[in-house]
Each structure stands twice: as C-alpha cells, then as structure tokens.
Structure 1
Amino acid sequence: MERKLYDAAVQGNTILLLDLLRDDALLLDRFITGRHPETPLHIASMLGHLEFVDEVLARRPELAKELDSHNSSPLHLASAKGYLKVAKSLLQVDPDMCLVCDIDGSNPLHIAAMKGHLGLLRELVQARPWAARVLMEQGETILHACVRCNQLEALKLLVGRVSDHDFVNCQNHDGNTILHLAIAAKQTETINFLISSTTIDVNCKNEDGFTALDLLPQNQRDMKEKEIAESLERMEATRAKDKPLSNTQLKAIRTKILMSTWDQPNAISKPKKRKDGNRLVNSNRNADWLERKRNILMLVASLLAAMAFQAGVNPPSGVWQDNGPSGFSSTESNGKNHTAGLSVLADNYPRGYTKFLIWNTTGFLASLSIILLLISGLPLRRRFFMWVLMVIMWLAVTAMASAYLACIVALTPDHSYSSVINILGTGILVWIGLMLILLLGHTIRIIIRLIKYLRKSVMRLMKPISTRST
C-alpha cells in the first residue's frame, strides 16, 4: 500500500490516493508515526502536484511538518523548484516551517533566494519576515547567499523588505561582508546597488584585515575593476594595506573569499567574535524587530479598544435602573427627572462625565486607528512608521489614563477630595516626565538618523561634482 501511495504521489494521481485511503484509512498516519526517508507529500511538493498536495493536507496537515533524510520539509522542496501555489498551500497549514533549516543550514527562504524564485521568495518573506534573518552555516546571511549565487533581484527584494544597517553589514565567520563577496566575484551591478541603495560600510575589514578596496589592484587594467574602484572611491573607501598586493595574491585572496565556505556547506565552525561596529545581534536570528513591534502594538491596541468600548457602554457609576427624580437624593433632584438606562454620572456630575467621555473616546479612536493601519495592508515595515504608530499608541494610553483620572475625580466625595488630588497630581507629574523622556529619546534617534542620511546624500551629490572639476 505504501509503495502504491508513493507511485500515486509521483504521478499526482488524486483518484488513486482516495482509493488507497478508502481501503486503508490509516495509511497517511503511518508516515507520521513511522520512519521513512520521505513522505508522499515531499514527493508531490517536489514535483508540483498541487491537487495531490491539497488532498493530503486536507486529511493530514501534520505531514507538512515532517522532514526527510536531509532534514528538508515539503516547503523546502517546493521552494527549490519554485512551485508558488504548492508553497502557498503549505504555508496556510504551518507558516513557521519557514524557520526550519535543512542539513545544510538553509531554510526555505534561503533556498528560494539562491534559486532566484522571486514570487515565491516574496510570499515566504511576507509569511515570516524574521526567517530571512536566520543565519546559515559559517554565519552567513541570506544576503551572502544572494551574492554568492549572483541573484541581484532577490538581493534587492530582501534589502527592501527586511534589511537594516546591521543586517546589511553582517560579517560571516571569515569577516567578509556582502560587499567583499561582490567585489571578489566582480559583480559590478551588485556593487553599484549596494553602494547607492544601502548603508553598506565600504571600509569594513574582514578577518585578514582587507577592506573592499584592498581586493582591487591599485593599477586597474580591467575596465570592470576600474569602474568598481571609482565607485568605491566616490564613497570615500580607503585601503587598509599600504603595500600593494600582486595580481597573484589578489587572485588567491578572492578565491579564498568565494570558496572558503561554499565548498563545505555542512561544515560547522565556531563563530568568531565580531567587531562592535559590525555585529548582528543574535536575537535577530529568530525574531524580526519590526514584526514583533507590529504584534505588540496590535495586542495592546485591541486591549485598549476593548477597555474603552466597555467603559463607554457601561459608564462609571452605572446607569439608572428606573425612572424618577435625578440627584443623589430626592431632595437634591431640583425637579429634574432621570430615565432608566441613562448614565448616573452624566446626571449627577455632568462636567466630570464630559471630560471622561472626551478622553475615553480619544483613546478608543486612537486604538482603532492603530488596528486599522496594521490590518490595512500598507507597507508599514520601516522603523519610521513603527515610530509613528508608537506615538499614536502613547496618545491612546495617555487618553485612557486621563479617562481614569476624570472618573476618580468625579466619583470622589468632598471630604476625600484634597488627598485624592494630591495623589493624582504626583502621579500625573511622574507620568508626564516619563512620556517626555521617551519622546525626547526617540526624537533624538530620528534626528540622528536623518542627519546621517542627509550627510550621506550630500556627499554622494558633491563627489561627482568635485571629480568633474578636477
């Protein structure tokens, strides 16, 4: 029966699959409980049989988590072949399979990037963005893999979706950045892209003490090398080695950079210490900062919205249970009547109720705005947009705190009013101080980043002008 099921997977024959399951309902379960080099789902995913894959997943979705003898999941095999629809079906069952690494230390995103399957890569990144930050063997990132395989379009996609300064400048265990690899392979378009569109550090040194410019001869005869050298020099690249290297030495160094880890994909070496200015935080391996912020903001915004809604429909002091004179007692009603179902606080303390309503509504609308922006599908993947959303969240939290204060003031009797005001005043001062510190810290960070970006842009514009004038 198992042999027939393998044959059905090879052919993508769903009719035969259903017949076999009709004869033996536990046939697929044996591939979960037993030991097999691969499952029928592996075979169907590798061959792109979408209907067969959907049929298997509908009955035993657990098979999507099974690994073959090379620790490859069905998603690995679909990514290697570029079967987008098959990959989508597998992702719907368990998107966390994007994080699973095979025997070579590659997850499905690494494989799709190295193969240049852009549509599939885009789908995988959208499903689990932080999977792109998982390091491969020898401490290499997915960007290193793109350069090694000369997949410029995949590199551009990843830089636009998941990159930041530390990630772009990450060094492997030999200290080589993606710029070192690109120059060693003489990938002119990749080098120009890195220099013009990323924050790559052109003066970063590898473990042998070579910068990117050291990998080029000082007297370039090759037009491609000359073009690369001119581009680097425009970005103020410098040489770390005073003594020029011979062409034979340069060739040996380039070969070492390109082949040191590529020939031994399964070799696991102990990570070397990185320089502080070019380290990639280890926690980023399994979690993307932006994605975690999105999840936290969504959770807190949903909680605040629920609190504000509940406080709005069930206001402090409750609602009148019957019709009658307003006021705390019949003698204080002043001839006003209350209506069952309306707010007690609104009748007895209208000013306090108005303040409460203003702050509660502000917090409610701010929370709903965050939820709407996060589910809108807009590309809010930049730190700046996360900063804007956090500012809105501060507004929502502050509004809810103010609504609480308005309620406490309105519900406090006269004989305890002074002591409550002193306590609340102290709390307000502490709260304002904390908010100002947070706002100042984030504002300084934004200003520093903006200054660095403007300075770099001005340098790029001024360098060609000075070159033409000389």
Structure 2
Amino acid sequence: MDRRLYDAAVLGNKISLLNLLREDALLLDRFITGRYPETPLHVASMLGHLEFVDEVLARKPELAKEVDSRNSSPLHLASAKGYLQVAKSLLQVNPDMCLVSDIDGRNPLHIAAMKGHLGLLRELVQARPWAARVLMEQGETILHACVRCNQLEALKLLVERVSDHEFVNCKNGDGNTILHLAIAAKQTEAINLLISSTAIDVNCVNEDGFTALDLLSQNQRDATDKEIVESLRRMGVTHATDHPLSDSQLKAIRTKILLSTWDQHQPNALPKPKKRKHGKRLVSSNKNGDWLERKRNTLMLVASLLAAMAFQAGVNPPSGVWQDNDQSEESNHRAGLSVLADNYPFVYTFFLICNTTGFLASLSIILLLISGLPLRLRFFMWVLMVVMWVAITAMALAYMGCLVAVTPDHSYSSLIKILGCATLVWIGLMLVLLLGHTIRLIFRLIKCLFKLAMRLVKLISGPHAL
C-alpha cells in the first residue's frame, strides 16, 4: 500500500483520500485486481473511521468483500472492535460477508458474540440469521463460543433469535454440548438459562459417556455445585456413570472439556486427559492410533530401502556381467550375462533365491500398506512385521552369498570364520526375539483363559446364588 494512502486510512483523513484519488483515479481499483495483505478499507474499519469507510464504499463497494492475509474481511475487523456504525455501512453494501470465515473458521457473528458486542451482534443476526448456524473449527457453534468466553448476554440474544432443538443440542468435536461446557466452567446463570429457556437435552452424554450431572462433585462440597445440582434435579437430570467419580477425575474431565479446541493455533499444546469410565483406565484410541501410525511409517521406510537394495543387487549381480561374447570350449559365455552364474552356479542360485525372497517380501509390505485396507489392528501389524523379518533375513543371506562369490580362494578360511560368528550372533538374536514374543503370547493367552474361566464360573454360580 502507498504510504500516503496508508497514513490517510490510519488517520481517517477523507480529504487526503480525495487528493490521492485526483492524482490516481485507479488507486482503489488496484486493491480489487491484485492480492494485498490488507486494503485501506481494512485499516479504516479496524480503527472505526466511519467517514473514510463511507467514502471508500461509495466509490468502490467491491472492497467490502476483499479479505486480508488472515482471510478477514473489513466486517470481521469492525466486529472485533465493536464499531456498530462501520458494520452497518459494510452490511448495507454486502451483507453476505456475514457468511465468510477467517483463517480460524470464525465469521463476523462468531467474533461479535465472543467479544460481547451485543448491538453489533443484533445487527449481524438481523442481516443474515443463518450465519449464526455456521460451525466453527472442531464443530463448535456460536453458542459454544459464548459459553467459552462467558458471554451470557450474547448467549441470551442468540437463544432468543436463532435457537431450536437441533441447534441448541449440537455437539462439538469432543461430543460436548453447551450444557457440558457451562457446567464444567460452573456458569450458574448460563446453566439456568439453558435449562429454563431452551430445549437443551439435560441427559445428553458426551463421547466419554458423561451427562451434565456427572461433571459435578458427588459430595457437593461447593455451594455452587449444590445450586447447580438442585436446578438439574428439578429438570430430571440423571447420572450416566454407575460409580461416583473422584475429585481428581472430575477436575481432569472439566479441564479437558474447557481446554479442548480452545487454542486452535496450537492444538498439540493442550494436554489430553486419559479417559476413565467405571473407575477403570481405558486405552486411548488416539494413543493406539499413534502407535499404529508409527509402525506403518517405519515398515514403509524399511521396506522401501530393502526393495531398492534387492533391485540393485538383482540387476547388478555380484562379480558383474560378461563384457564380451566367447564361444570357445574353455569359456563359453555371452555379453550381459552374470559372471557368477557361469563360475559358481550353486552360489548364484542361492543368492538369487534369497535376493528374490527379500525383494518380494518388501514389495508385499509396501503393497499392503498403500492398498487402503483397514490394517488398524495390532494383529495385522504383527503379521507385517513377521514378513519384514523374513525380508531382512533373506537380504542377510543374500549378502553372505555375495561375499562367497567375490572372495578369493586364499581368503576362504577367514571368510568362513567371520560368517560363522555372524551366523551364530544372528541365530542367537532371532532366538531371543522368538522367545520374548512366545512368552508374551503365552501370558496373553493365560490372561484370556483366566477371564473366560471367571465368566464361566459366574454363569454357573449365578442360578444357585438366586
């Protein structure tokens, strides 16, 4: 942006703008035909210079739909600062900008609600009511944003204007409704508003299996908890869990609900509590998925390297290929064929079998990993690891064949000693791994049989106990 035009927008100097337009009539058109980090209308809207905004809109109303580097329109900036009159001018030109989302997935209505600019929010809702139903990132509604930012008046306004059963009971990416968020934050007024003036499902459960009442302390030591529990009880709220939760569990659950999806720029910075249900620890599906993903990536990398090695050894066999044709009785060979195949047929056959086995095993792993099959179970990943075991062993044997082929006769004794020691070490390592996996499998089998026996005992003793 030209420095003089930028200064005029910052100061809201309408006279300077007119002087610049006399010098260059196409000055504002360039912001429409090109891509700029921001326009003069963005700067003036952010600072609330109404006369400057009106002058720009009168000359180039198309600038109202231009977005900056964060995909924010001038209406986004005016909504964030709460400039009602500027927002009205922008709405008269292009009310559809209410539907445009910025880089964080928020439209002007979301921003106005989170900032608590009620008058501006009312104008935006009146201009485009369905813009309030647009979901933000992670599936959150504008009602979720009001509860997170503790904007009770904005929540009241939206409940009166755009709420219905489906919208009020909408869940975010973690399966939490606005009632879950309000109770986790202990917002008593918001809770009373939701249960008395909306069609909120008070017994709705989130993805962890908790209702709103489960998020409150069972012993009700806190006066706020008592008040909330009494309000919920009057609405017929029940517990979803069979066992009461400890204070530490409740704190972890509330923290998870309040922090999830809040920092959209740094999602990995938020701790994710471990899931608990019926007082027992459950393995997180995310943790299992991460384990499988790491295994898949490792197998793909190793399989690709082994396949490349095997292909290279196959097309360039040990000892090379003949460079000429010789049809004599002493040496009958043709150019391009393997020297090892003519001089040591048995060694070449051994090398060919091992190298081909390793190559095909590696290709099989790659094919299975890119096939799109649902290889999400640990059993399938273990199968792939066994195939990888075969591929690595085959490549090791092919390497031994290569050494035998290229080693001269006077060094065979040293080679045999080295290969013998290496073979013993390799066999020992394989036996240790096999023993470890076998013991692990036996323990798992015993555990499964024990659980099955306990179930059978309960089933057999059940009728007698009655």
Normalised TM-score (structure 1): 0.56
Q: Separation in 2 of the partners of 1:252 and 1:267?
A: 17
- 1:254 matched to 2:254: yes
Q: Separation in 1 of the partners of 2:118 and 2:266?
A: 26
Backbone CA RMSD of aligned residues: 1.2
Structure 1 residues 70 and 99 mapped into 2: Cα distance closer, same or farther (>3 Å)? same
Match of 2:233 in 1: 233
Match of 1:91 in 2: 91
Structure 1 residues 198 and 265 mapped into 2: Cα distance closer, same or farther (>3 Å)? farther
Q: Separation in 2 of the partners of 1:66 and 1:195?
A: 41
Using the TM superposition, give the Cα deviation of residue 242 of structure 1 relative to its aligned residue in structure 2, in angstroms.
1.2
Q: Separation in 2 of the partners of 1:10 and 1:36?
A: 17
- 1:24 matched to 2:24: yes
- 1:15 matched to 2:15: yes
Secondary structure of 1:204's match?
coil
Using the TM superposition, give the Cα deviation of residue 217 of structure 1 relative to its aligned residue in structure 2, in angstroms.
1.2
Residues 104 and 264 in structure 2, CA contact (< 8 A), matched pair in contact too: no
Secondary structure of 1:104's match?
coil
Q: Percent identity?
A: 84
Match of 2:405 in 1: none
- 1:157 matched to 2:166: no
Using the TM superposition, give the Cα deviation of residue 265 of structure 1 relative to its aligned residue in structure 2, in angstroms.
5.0
Q: Separation in 2 of the partners of 1:137 and 1:24?
A: 42
- 1:42 matched to 2:72: no
Structure 1 residues 220 and 153 mapped into 2: Cα distance closer, same or farther (>3 Å)? same
- The residue correspondences of 1:357-376 to structure 2 (distance < 5 A) are none
- The residue correspondences of 1:382-401 to structure 2 (distance < 5 A) are none
Residues 174 and 207 in structure 1, CA contact (< 8 A), matched pair in contact too: yes
Q: Separation in 2 of the partners of 1:263 and 1:53?
A: 32
Match of 1:263 in 2: 263
Using the TM superposition, give the Cα deviation of residue 163 of structure 1 relative to its aligned residue in structure 2, in angstroms.
0.7
Max Rg structure? 2
Bigger shift: 97-106 or 34-43? 34-43
Residues 79 and 120 in structure 1, CA contact (< 8 A), matched pair in contact too: yes
Match of 2:193 in 1: 193
Residues 168 and 199 in structure 1, CA contact (< 8 A), matched pair in contact too: yes
Match of 1:184 in 2: 184
1:376-399 Cα shifts (integer Å, max 9, x gaps) = xxxxxxxxxxxxxxxxxxxxxxxx
**Which residues of structure 1 form unaligned runs of 5+?**
269-470
- The residue correspondences of 1:123-138 to structure 2 (distance < 5 A) are 123-138=123-138
Q: Separation in 2 of the partners of 1:70 and 1:213?
A: 40
**Which residues of structure 2 form unaligned runs of 5+?**
269-466
Match of 2:56 in 1: 56
Residues 220 and 226 in structure 1, CA contact (< 8 A), matched pair in contact too: yes
Amino acid at match of 2:140: E
Using the TM superposition, give the Cα deviation of residue 63 of structure 1 relative to its aligned residue in structure 2, in angstroms.
0.5
Using the TM superposition, give the Cα deviation of residue 31 of structure 1 relative to its aligned residue in structure 2, in angstroms.
1.0
Amino acid at match of 2:101: C
Using the TM superposition, give the Cα deviation of residue 12 of structure 1 relative to its aligned residue in structure 2, in angstroms.
0.2
Aligned length: 268
Question: Which one scores higher on RCO, CA 8 angstroms, separation ≥ 6?
Answer: 1
Q: Separation in 2 of the partners of 1:225 and 1:14?
A: 56
Normalised TM-score (structure 2): 0.57
Residues 147 and 182 in structure 1, CA contact (< 8 A), matched pair in contact too: yes
Residues 8 and 14 in structure 2, CA contact (< 8 A), matched pair in contact too: yes
Using the TM superposition, give the Cα deviation of residue 35 of structure 1 relative to its aligned residue in structure 2, in angstroms.
2.1
Match of 1:33 in 2: 33
Structure 1 runs of 4+ aligned residues shifted over 6 Å read none
Q: Separation in 2 of the partners of 1:22 and 1:216?
A: 67
- The residue correspondences of 1:329-348 to structure 2 (distance < 5 A) are none
Q: Separation in 1 of the partners of 2:126 and 2:49?
A: 23
Amino acid at match of 2:16: L
Match of 2:100 in 1: 100
Using the TM superposition, give the Cα deviation of residue 266 of structure 1 relative to its aligned residue in structure 2, in angstroms.
7.5
Secondary structure of 1:261's match?
coil
Q: Separation in 1 of the partners of 2:8 and 2:249?
A: 56
1:27-65 Cα shifts (integer Å, max 9, x gaps) = 011111122110010000000000000000000001000
Using the TM superposition, give the Cα deviation of residue 264 of structure 1 relative to its aligned residue in structure 2, in angstroms.
2.2
Amino acid at match of 1:95: P
Q: Separation in 2 of the partners of 1:176 and 1:27?
A: 50
Structure 1 residues 142 and 266 mapped into 2: Cα distance closer, same or farther (>3 Å)? farther
Amino acid at match of 2:95: P
Using the TM superposition, give the Cα deviation of residue 10 of structure 1 relative to its aligned residue in structure 2, in angstroms.
0.2
